[in-house]
Amino acid sequence: MRVFTDLNLHGDSPERARPEVGEWGPVAAWPTRKKRHARIIWIIAFVVIVTLAFVFGWYVYGIIMNPTTAQ
């Protein structure tokens, strides 16, 4: 079972149909490895941001609901 989809967008298309293809591949396009790393980094960043938002909300809720700190 594959975790990621195939990031080769050209497939078997002829070279004349590919815009700006250089000797070793597309010009100004990220290599597959860099796309895969960027995808993993964005997933990790999203999880960290959501976790921090939850912890901050829990902290604020604790401050609001604790009657001893209001005095």
User: 3-class DSSP state for residue 26?
Assistant: strand
Convert the pLDDT of each residue in 12-65 to its tens digit. 777 666 667 667 666 777 788 898 999 999 999 999 999 999 999 999 998 888
In this structure, is residue 49 part of a structural domain? Answer: yes
In this structure, is residue 26 part of a structural domain? Answer: no
**Which residue range forms the structural domain that includes residue 38?**
32-71
What is residue 45's predicted lDDT score, i.e. its pLDDT?
A: 98
Q: Tokens standing for 34? A: 């860099």
What is residue 71's predicted lDDT score, i.e. its pLDDT?
A: 47
Residues comprising the chain, all counted:
71
Q: What is the largest CA-CA distance in the chain?
A: 75
Query: How many separate domains does the chain show?
Result: 1
* Integer Cα distance of 8 and 53 in angstroms: 36
What is the pTM (predicted TM-score) of this model? Answer: 0.56
* Integer Cα distance of 71 and 15 in angstroms: 74
Task: Locate all alpha helices (DSSP H) within 17-65, ordered by sequence.
Answer: 32-65
In this structure, is residue 58 part of a structural domain? Answer: yes
